Structure 1
Amino acid sequence: MKKNVVFVALLSLFGGIASAQMQSFPLQDVKLTGGAFKKAQDVDLTYMLALNPDKLLAPYLIDAGLPLKASRYGNWESSGLDGHIAGHYLSALAMMYASTGNAEVKKRLDYMISELSRCQTKNGNGYVGGIPQGKVFWERVHKGDIDGSSFGLNNTWVPLYNIHKLFAGLRDAYEYAGNAQAKQVLIGLGDWFIDLIKPLSDEQIQQVLRTEHGGINETFADLYILTKDKKYLETAQRLSHRALLNPLMDKQDKLTGLHANTQIPKVIGYEKIASLTGKTDWSDAAQFFWQTVAQKRSVAFGGNSVREHFNPTNDFISMLKSNQGPETCNSFNMLRLSKALFLDKNDPSYLDFYERTLYNHILSTQHPEKGGFVYFTPIRPNHYRVYSQPETSMWCCVGSGLENHTKYGELIYSHSANDLFVNLFIPSTLNWPDKKIQLVQKTEFPNQNQSDMTLKLARPHTFGLNIRQPKWAENFTVLVNGEAQKIDSKPSGYVTVNRKWKTGDKLTVRFTTSTQLEYLPDGSNWAAFVHGPIVLAAKTSTKDLDGLFADDSRMGHETHGPLYPLDKAYALIGNPDTYRSRIKPVDGLTFQLDSLTLQPFYAIHDARYQMYFQTFTQAAYDEQKARMKEQEAAALALDAKTVDKINCGEQQPEVDHAFKGEKTDSGYDDERFWRRTRSAMSYELRNKHMTGKFLDISALDPIRTTDVSFLINDKPAEPIAADGKTIRLKVIDEAVMTLKIVANDGKPTPRFSQIRLIN
């Protein structure tokens, strides 16, 4: 009997395996068969089916002048971002159908596409959208009437971001579910958009792109892929924001203070355009961005940002203090960028970040029973998260959340022309129709450090089966039909077994994992426990979980429960050699840390938790404790007397407070956001229970009443005190107040940083 020749190798950066391009498998070819990801997919399906397609379509029918079949949803779907969830929903339906074959999901998808086609036909020019007063808004843009800020274009809330969701949803409906009508609607919409911006100069286009616009450049690159018409690729390049691209091409990190999720989709577009045009400098820029965000700006579970913005790389204290930690949408898009770079560069090191983020952020942002989605994941010790509800919550992170749990099969496996790659240890079945190969992966990872893979082939076939060895996997062992293979183990690469495979062949992977302390990227003394790729945390309390399941209020995605003092959080006291030795294994991924029980963060729900711990020597702890207690007392006292607060220049606080403005600009200086105007700008504040008595306004520049005027509900406000860069105004006894700031004589106002209503 002729023996199979077995060749086992490991390549740290994949390039030596083959020159052929790495490719992902269609979602239809990969089926989840068990474990936490399969459960999350099933829970997501239930949530999706609880939504009403006619309510999601209502903004589109309104704009087209067609009779409604149901009233639109409230929340963000009725306050300016009307229609954005429908785009996400199309993508989620398409990917869920591809992943599961669910007939009801396909029926809903086809119905929504047919209704959108009906709206497009009624509009008569290729346009279809749900943006409030969309036809009036787009006509202003077409004429070059452009007044934009980071999130408002002509006082319309991120309209290009909104319509990008529809572009992406139509693309996904065709790509994943084969809906040919979606392709027709998409091309019509793309052609309309090209005509819309045709009169605009490149300078005007860049002015439009100051406002958050999602991945609009990527979708035009996708249109080129679908049609091979170069006008779409040219438009994709024209719609690429140079203010971000140019510094990245120069390897300059100018991200601090920028709205994080505004930037990531742009970079996905740069990478896709580079893959189509050969623009290596654009691809290098995408890689530089990924390295900066993934390695210098991300916390242990893979998320980034505080209050939706990139914080300084050398100071994460604002994130540690905030109840608005990393945003789910950011990780949704960082995974998309990681996938694109992995496939383009044939580099498995991107998968280390992908895997960490998938398990610890994405998986943790869905309630395991009710299916609600999380917007912010605070790292503040002893805080908690808020979950959406189908009838009340229409946030951006609900849209990306719907998509997140439909596509877990996208990178479990990949392939080159002839070889197969196993990237993740997730129970699943792969069918590779072109090669007539089936692989069944059975594993209980991360609860068990082993994965068994069994092959089924139409006939014996020689190919390379490549198993990723993650950087966290220790004592990595590969067995073929029970026989251990000799390998030269190196992390972040692939173990390759080349042989003539036959039906019934079994490959087993075994490894060990250990618990490490991972410090924040800023070099501070805050650290998280990570076991293998799994971030551990402790439940600390189930009290004061105000707003745990969101209502339909404008700020329902934010926690309303009290902040617990940081000086009361559990700390590690000793020296680096003893911190880890304090952890005692209990069972599986459960550990005891003195009085705390550590477990996978993704398994903690409906509770306050602690993920990050300060580390001290005994002497440093005694010195720090008194100082931190004093600082925390002052911060919490100010928070307690605050009725409402606006951080000027930050996207979500301004949207939450109905910002309107003309001739305004915003920025980030001296570690604070700001906004100013040469005309006027206004905000709405809520005076809950009529307890607010004063407005304290602060700026980065001196506030002179000769240069700027303040009105409350259109009446001059009475200044009570002024001190250089701060001013206090007396408020009126009304539940909702509109503060208007007017630049006298057209001179720029000071750079206002914060408005605080206090009792």
Structure 2
Amino acid sequence: MARPLSRRTLFQAAALTATAVSAAATGRAVAASNAPAAAPRLPAAWTVRPFALEDVTLGPGVFAGKRQLMLDHARGYDVHRLLQVFRANAGLSTRGAVAPGGWEGLDGEANGNLRGHYTGHFLTMLAQAHRGTGEQVFADRIITMVDALTEVREALRREPAVLSVEGRFGRAAENLRGSHQYVDLPPAVLADSPALTLSAWVRPAHDAAWARVFDFGDDTTRYLYLAARNGNGVPRFAVTTSGPGGEQGLDGSAPLPLGEWSHLAVTLADGTGTLYVDGTAVARNTAMTLTPAALGTLAHHWLGRSNFPADPVFAGAFEGVEVFSRALTAGEITELRDGRAADASTGRGDLASYAFDETTGSTFADASGRGLDATLRRTWGAPSHPGFLAAYPETQFIELESMTGSDYTRVWAPYYTAHKILRGLLDAYSATDDGRALDLASGLCDWMYARLSVLPAATLQRMWGLFSSGEFGGVVEAVCDLHAITGRAEHLALARLFDLDRLIDACAANTDVLDGLHANQHIPVFTGLVRLHDETGEERYLTAAKNFWGMVVPHRVYAIGGTSSGEFWKARDVIAGTVTDTTAESCCAYNMLKLSRALFFHEQDPAYMDYYERALFNQVLGSKQDRADAEKPLVTYFIGLTPGHVRDYTPKQGTTCCEGTGMESATKYQDSVYFAAADASALYVNLYSASRLTWAEKGVTVTQTTRYPEEQGSTLTFGGGWASFTLLLRVPSWADAGFRVTVNGRAVPGTPVPGRYFGVTRTWRAGDTVRISVPFRLRVERTPDDPSLQALLYGPVDLVARHPGPDALRLGLYGNAGLSGDLLPSLTPVPGSPLHFTLDGIELVPFAEGTEDPTHAYIRRSEPRVIFGTSDSGVANPARSDGTTLLDEIWAAAPFRDKGALVARVRSAVDAWVSAGLLSRADGDTVVGTARRATYAD
């Protein structure tokens, strides 16, 4: 019988009862980190299962080194910066933290319409870091974040409450940028007054134009307002009964300083308006014929909000807001600048007066005697369900429901952001057993179900078909994982509400419809479908996912394992024709690895792990720069594959989706090194990577010692007790130079086949040693649409040329090719630098090295003359119309058992080319003679 899995592995196996979840959700769980789950189960469809991150320890090597760089970032980054956008949205104090910026800031791309997603990524990184290392610092940071998010959700459930801060003379009320809060005054504030004075102390926190201090009006036709900044950055007062074109206004002469208190006042009477800043008149207009009385009864009386919906909400603090029914004198304005109205000769405003001394609640007392108490409100009202949790208003979700076209500046993938938060919370729960994280996750799904379950099916299909705006990432996978814990029917029903039927049906029918689709919007859809199959048993989901994978691999995959061009897929088998500076979005590789892994749980096709090795050892490793930084994860977004491209490790102002998935990738390198058969009858070794597996179910440990890929092989050493099972060793599809296995020094009988697993069945004892030898060869990989554009691969390693661009490098490789077909003899190793070579003075290095050197991921193959073993025939290398050269045809038959076999191949190829009129007989004889005289490497 299998040992019960810990609650930390719940997303790999366990499903807890709803009763247990309810108990855990009442507070922070105190279960030991290795406490068994209440009701462990594996999805019935899984024929293998993964090991938990804590069961596999990384040994010294490239993966441990890259992970250490990311762990340093995870320790050093101030998590309160991530929480800033959540706290601001809820109107809570941000504790002086500065928002991360980029996609997480209101000034970044699309005005921060994706903010909050990065917090989810960071939670997942911390959870994986804690599980992989056991270091308490990561758990402590998770708890800090869950504390804050719990407080945020509670604040969002309530009416907004005043954020009291120190003011100019006493207390003040602050509106945080991103809170969307404003002060709502009762009707009839202006009381049809023929004259007016507005007075307020303000401390602007941002320089956004058209943020209002006052705005009294009906719509965008009848209103008066006082803006902290107009389009030129200076204060403006205006009044109109005919919209912007009829405004009578006053403009200041200088911007208000940010972060400092300024006194603003406007007087209006007898056709004259005057604008004061800090007691000084800065503008006067003697042709202002409109008065408050001319506006009539107005619907809205706001502090901090504009009647123009596109205008920003005022970000900053208010104190001492006074509204008078007369025009104060300059001297009286000076008094208000120098102290509180209650202490000035003016007294409190007779139309309205707010000191903002309140330190709690959402109501501000009016001291005018008219009883016009004001109320703090959100522009978007209240969440539609108490489970709502986000770093921006619910309006993005609401607007998506009526959108018919894509516009990410209005709505940018809100369900994608919800997914990242949900995933981070679930991972936080799996790492710490903090029941509050699970409660937040469950509430978030309850809110999503409440929104989506009432929408017509046609609306959902339209939403999910929108590029970018309707992107929902891996939300289905995460919701299914939650359902595996709670067992609640609503959660499974929610997961199915994201079905995009036209895509699922096409892929289930194996109809390739990927051309023109946004790649990373759709890859995680299929990982979700695999999990939906697990939870529902519906074969359509799994079939669609398998077929989809086959449409991407290899038909839309670059040599490094990445996919997409400018974030989109192009036509099948067009690789050379899609190489740009914006190829291979890093998120795509991350999600293709997840999908490959999920499919392997159902069908142990080695092709899934062959792809996994390719993408992991090349793009994923190479997407992380080889230096630490506490402020930035230093991960690429795109990896340009054009000649001389320099990788950008601080893309798009930071905090992008790819930096988020990059943080996750670098803290789970060990997640697919080993799998176990569901019945524990076999152990799969999928990747050759220095690591130590603790297989508690069998009572054994397996220590893998290797410098792979610098070392062409690996050693497995068993510890613990006796255990009988089959050790399944992956034979890479490229391993055609021989794959050999010994156990305790003796060769294992059998013939390993490239692209399959090689099994060794025995009762394993402590001290047993398995040695795997995997010789590498240098080979080329031709792009299907342009065979002369080629990538160089040495074993699992993609070699790139370090050289400036912009022209493609033209290199020849057949000059000293070995009889085995190995092209490596044409290269010169760099002493002291494993996996580094030179060719024609150009250095070739592993793509995985995260430097900012210009590189060529593809080279232009150039073999102008027929050369064998460095012997030059002097004959031009002829080519067919499809680009295949004579040398290509000759070496396609490698390996050769000896020189005679090679010469025979040369003779037969030459005869065919002479017969086809592609080569003269004389030149053909010269080629055969050169092949016979040449000396070859093995």
Normalised TM-score (structure 1): 0.72
Match of 2:634 among 372, 378, 403: 372
- Aligned-pair distance for 1:493? 2.2
Aligned with 2:564: secondary structure? coil
Give 1:334-353 correspondences, 5 Å limit: 334-353=592-611
- Residue 855 of structure 2 is aligned to residue 609 of structure 1: yes
Letter paired with 1:48:
A
Aligned with 1:283: secondary structure? helix
Residue 143 of structure 2 aligns with which residue?
Answer: 110
Residue 431 of structure 1 aligns with which residue?
Answer: 694
Moved more, 516-525 or 302-311: 516-525
Give 1:28-43 correspondences, 5 Å limit: 28-43=54-69
- Aligned-pair distance for 1:388? 2.1
Match of 1:569 among 791, 795, 809: 809
Distance 1:445 1:295 in 2: 24
Q: Mind listing any 5+ residue stretches in structure 2 that lack a counterpart? A: 1-44, 106-110, 158-384, 866-875, 881-938
Residue 156 of structure 1 aligns with which residue?
Answer: 411
- Aligned-pair distance for 1:309? 0.8
Distance 1:181 1:593 in 2: 58
- Residue 541 of structure 2 is aligned to residue 282 of structure 1: yes
Distance 1:382 1:621 in 2: 28
- Aligned-pair distance for 1:123? 2.2
Give 1:43-442 correspondences, 5 Å limit: 43-69=69-95, 70-78=97-105, 79=111, 80-124=113-157, 125-132=385-392, 134-140=393-399, 145-150=401-406, 152=408, 155-210=410-465, 211-320=470-579, 322-370=580-628, 372-388=634-650, 393-416=654-677, 417-418=679-680, 419-442=682-705
Distance 1:593 1:122, change over 3 A: same
Letter paired with 2:626:
P
Task: Report % sequence identity.
Answer: 29
Letter paired with 1:64:
A
- Residue 794 of structure 2 is aligned to residue 539 of structure 1: no
Distance 1:178 1:313 in 2: 45
Moved more, 272-281 or 519-528: 519-528
Q: Deviations over 1:393-413 (max 9, x none)?
A: 211111111101100111111
Contact 1:572 1:579 in 2 (8 A): no
Aligned length, in residue pairs: 576
Distance 1:139 1:312, change over 3 A: closer
- Residue 770 of structure 2 is aligned to residue 520 of structure 1: no
Contact 1:257 1:310 in 2 (8 A): yes
Distance 1:367 1:137 in 2: 34
Distance 1:150 1:520, change over 3 A: farther
Letter paired with 1:342:
F
Residue 709 of structure 1 aligns with which residue?
Answer: none
Q: Deviations over 1:176-224 (max 9, x none)?
A: 4433221111111111111112321111111221221112222222221
Distance 1:617 1:42, change over 3 A: closer
Distance 1:591 1:315 in 2: 29
Contact 1:319 1:378 in 2 (8 A): no
- Aligned-pair distance for 1:450? 2.2
Q: Deviations over 1:128-183 (max 9, x none)?
A: 44443x13334456xxx511545639x22211111111011112112344332211
Structure with the bigger percentage of helix: 1
Distance 1:579 1:439 in 2: 33
Distance 1:359 1:525 in 2: 25
Structure with the bigger percentage of strand: 1
Distance 1:158 1:174 in 2: 25
Distance 1:162 1:499, change over 3 A: same
Letter paired with 1:308:
E
Distance 1:148 1:166 in 2: 26
Distance 1:621 1:89, change over 3 A: farther
Distance 1:573 1:469, change over 3 A: closer
Letter paired with 1:326:
A
Distance 1:353 1:405 in 2: 18
Distance 2:405 2:815 in 1: 48
- Residue 728 of structure 2 is aligned to residue 466 of structure 1: yes
Contact 2:453 2:494 in 1 (8 A): no
- Aligned-pair distance for 1:500? 1.9
Residue 582 of structure 1 aligns with which residue?
Answer: 826
Distance 1:520 1:484, change over 3 A: same
Letter paired with 1:413:
Y
Q: Deviations over 1:590-631 (max 9, x none)?
A: 22221212121112512101120122454999999xxxxxxx
Contact 2:519 2:588 in 1 (8 A): yes
Distance 1:34 1:439 in 2: 15
Aligned-residue Cα RMSD (Å) equals 2.6
Distance 1:158 1:484, change over 3 A: same
Letter paired with 1:268:
T
Contact 1:59 1:82 in 2 (8 A): yes
Moved more, 310-319 or 189-198: 310-319
Q: Mind listing any 5+ residue stretches in structure 1 that lack a counterpart? A: 1-18, 542-563, 625-759
Distance 1:113 1:579, change over 3 A: same
Aligned with 1:156: secondary structure? coil
Distance 1:262 1:62 in 2: 28
Aligned with 1:452: secondary structure? strand
Aligned with 2:724: secondary structure? strand
Aligned with 2:801: secondary structure? strand
Letter paired with 1:249:
A
Q: Deviations over 1:359-379 (max 9, x none)?
A: 000000111113511111111
- Aligned-pair distance for 1:81? 1.5
